[in-house]
Structure 1
């Protein structure tokens, strides 16, 4: 996955309500960043965490 593709995936996640919570860093054999879910429609569910990785 190229840097351009990774940035597109991050932007797509942000458009669905996720927020980027870290810089893009090496993760395993590729790159990744921490994303957190902060939509206000479901506050009782708390904060969800996901990792976008280019492996």
Structure 2
């Protein structure tokens, strides 16, 4: 019973950590997309200003 209790806690902890890692991964992708969009707009703006 004690061993199973610890095992279940470890499983829950691993599940929570897995969810956090996936969320961090999604946030990283969102940040990269935002940076790319900002760079794209800044280059477009600079080209429009030159013209």
User: Is the TM value for this pair above 0.5?
Assistant: no
- Structure with a larger share of its residues in strand: 1
User: TM class, shorter-chain normalised?
Assistant: 0.3 to 0.5
Structure with the largest fraction of helix: 2
TM-score, normalised on structure 1? 0.32
